[in-house]
Amino acid sequence: MSMIDPFGRDISYLRVSVTDRCDFRCTYCMAEDMTFLPKKDLLSLEELERLCSVFIAKGVRKLRLTGGEPLVRKNIMHLVRQLSSHLGNGLDELTLTTNGSQLARFAGDLADCGIRRINVSLDTLDPAKFRQVTRWGELSKVLQGIDAAQAAGLKIKLNAVALKGFNDDEIAPMLRWAHGRGMDLTLIETMPMGEIDADRTDQYLPLSLLRGRLEQEFNLRDIGYKTGGPARYVEVAETGGRLGFITPMTHNFCESCNRVRLTCTGTLYMCLGQEDAADLRTPLRASEGNEMVAQAIDEAIGRKPKGHDFVIDRRTRRPAVSRHMSVTGG
Ligand code: SAM
Ligand code: SF4
């Protein structure tokens, strides 16, 4: 089985935001006084598992849990365990993106469930700046989490959002640190999603500029390495490690998009940068069989848009997409 969209792209990658809640309040992601969804609107873990199973039966081979912070969802390991039973049985990879705050507690269990690689978001190695950007986070906990994950045998890729005047001068030392510990590093451009307290145009830093600066210090060689995500990779001659660039603003990578995103309320977004969505919760709850859900998924894939067009309205300075990244997951 496979799901082919109107532009011939094989949709084999599902990202699931298991909660919109988080124990951090990263300045580029959320406002400090975020309002979260009422708990009653959430799908149960059993419902999420059922929906994921339908996607796997329809051709999804890679599944990423994200959020909000996936590891703060109550009994999350129950869902991970259930989903892991699909590994080697339709599903090639189960993974997650986390802020790392709870990793020290969960790393061993995640590895036991057959998770092999995870993404950890980390924008700075300076404890004070870390507190500033996450508002509520503690760097030492995340570093302990990374230690625990590596000790459990999990491969880690670090994701850092490039923020003008905040961490641009830190990328070179972070790169050396990450590569020295056997971790890839991927840089991400800030996307205008959801209202935050700050003005995004002040934070935005095009990665082409950052790459130019890094090239004064490092030899970067483009390589064809792919992880199934949108990053383009270079190899850094001086460290032997890989550096990825996710450039939704300066370079559109939509032509090879193989993903769709499910929220914790059962809403399916066919594109991170568009508002169009499909409600899967109603057909899921309407019947014990999966035919209606499968049909709703087919209809949704049939209208997956060609691509996104992230722009900030220069007059109103409103974001291009009103929902926060924590709703659809990064
Ligand atoms: N809480 C987890 C974490 O931080 O890894 C998972 C969810 S978070 C929304 C996923 C990724 O999206 C993180 O790497 C985060 O830095 C990134 N992100 C959040 N808001 C963003 C934005 N407006 N533009 C670009 N990346 C963003
Ligand atoms: Fe939470 Fe991740 Fe958003 Fe930071 S980026 S506030 S850790 S969901």
8 located within any domain: no
> How far is Cα 224 from Cα 247, in angstroms, rounded to an integer?
16
Q: How far is the CA of 141 from the centre of ligand 2 (A)?
A: 15
For the segment 24-43, the average pLDDT, to the nearest whole number, is 92
260 located within any domain: yes
Which of the pair, 20 or 313, is modelled with greater confidence? 20
Q: What is the pLDDT of residue 71?
A: 98
Q: How far is the CA of 68 from the centre of ligand 2 (A)?
A: 6
Q: What is the pLDDT of residue 220?
A: 98
Q: Is the CB of 98 under 6 A from ligand 2?
A: no
Does the structure show a pLDDT above 60 at 161?
A: yes
> Of the bound ligands, which one is closest to the alpha carbon of residue 330?
1
- Percent pLDDT > 70 in the chain is 95
212 located within any domain: yes
In total, how many domains does the chain have?
Answer: 1
Does the structure show a pLDDT above 60 at 312?
A: no
195 located within any domain: yes
Question: From atom 23 of ligand 1, which residue's Cα is the shortest distance away?
Answer: 191
Q: What's at 19, amino acid-wise?
A: T
7 located within any domain: no
Range of the domain at 261: 13-328
Which of the pair, 292 or 326, is modelled with greater confidence? 292
Q: What is the pLDDT of residue 249?
A: 77
5 located within any domain: no
Does the structure show a pLDDT above 70 at 315?
A: no
For the segment 280-309, the average pLDDT, to the nearest whole number, is 94
pLDDT digits (tens, 9 = 90+) for 52-75: 999 999 999 999 999 999 999 999
6 located within any domain: no
Q: What is the pLDDT of residue 317?
A: 60
Instruction: Report the candidate in 83, 125, 132 with the shortest Cα–Cα distance to residue 100.
Output: 125
pLDDT digits (tens, 9 = 90+) for 73-116: 999 999 999 999 999 999 999 999 999 999 999 999 999 999 99
- Which structure tokens are listed for 158? 């670090």
Residue 12 three-state SS: coil
> How far is Cα 309 from Cα 254, in angstroms, rounded to an integer?
10
Q: What is the pLDDT of residue 324?
A: 77
For the segment 36-64, the average pLDDT, to the nearest whole number, is 96
> How far is Cα 68 from Cα 324, in angstroms, rounded to an integer?
10
Question: From atom 5 of ligand 1, which residue's Cα is the shortest distance away?
Answer: 98
Q: What is the pLDDT of residue 202?
A: 78
Q: How far is the CA of 326 from the centre of ligand 1 (A)?
A: 7
> How far is Cα 323 from Cα 151, in angstroms, rounded to an integer?
36
Q: How far is the CA of 176 from the centre of ligand 2 (A)?
A: 24
Q: Over 181-247, what HEC string results?
A: CCCEEEEEECCCECCCCCCHHHHECCHHHHHHHHCCCCCEEEECCCCCCCCEEEEECCCCCEEEEEC
Q: What is the pLDDT of residue 226?
A: 87
pLDDT digits (tens, 9 = 90+) for 223-242: 999 887 889 999 999 999 99
| Cα angle: 179, vertex 239, 180; to 5 degrees | 30
Q: How many CA atoms lie within 13 A of 320 on its CB side?
A: 16
Q: Is the CB of 189 under 6 A from ligand 2?
A: no
Other Cβ atoms less than 10 A from the Cβ of 126: the count is 14
Q: How far is the CA of 177 from the centre of ligand 2 (A)?
A: 22
pLDDT averaged over the chain? Answer: 93
* CA dihedral sign, ordered 49, 324, 142, 42: negative
pLDDT digits (tens, 9 = 90+) for 113-126: 999 999 999 999 99
pLDDT digits (tens, 9 = 90+) for 269-278: 999 888 889 9
311 located within any domain: yes
Closest-lying ligand 2 atom to the alpha carbon of residue 137: 7
Q: How far is the CA of 329 from the centre of ligand 1 (A)?
A: 7
> How far is Cα 52 from Cα 9, in angstroms, rounded to an integer?
20
> How far is Cα 258 from Cα 59, in angstroms, rounded to an integer?
11
Mutating to test ligand 2, I would choose from 17, 18, 27, 30 the residue with most ligand atoms within 8 A of its C-beta, which is 30
Q: Is the CB of 30 under 6 A from ligand 2?
A: yes
Q: Is the CB of 29 under 6 A from ligand 2?
A: yes
pLDDT digits (tens, 9 = 90+) for 243-288: 999 988 776 678 889 999 999 999 999 998 888 899 999 999 999 9
CATH number, domain at 185?
3.20.20.70
Does the structure show a pLDDT above 60 at 174?
A: yes
Q: How far is the CA of 295 from the centre of ligand 1 (A)?
A: 31
Which of the pair, 323 or 62, is modelled with greater confidence? 62
> How far is Cα 34 from Cα 106, in angstroms, rounded to an integer?
26
Query: pLDDT-based confidence at 310, cuts 50/70/90?
Result: low
Q: What is the pLDDT of residue 195?
A: 79
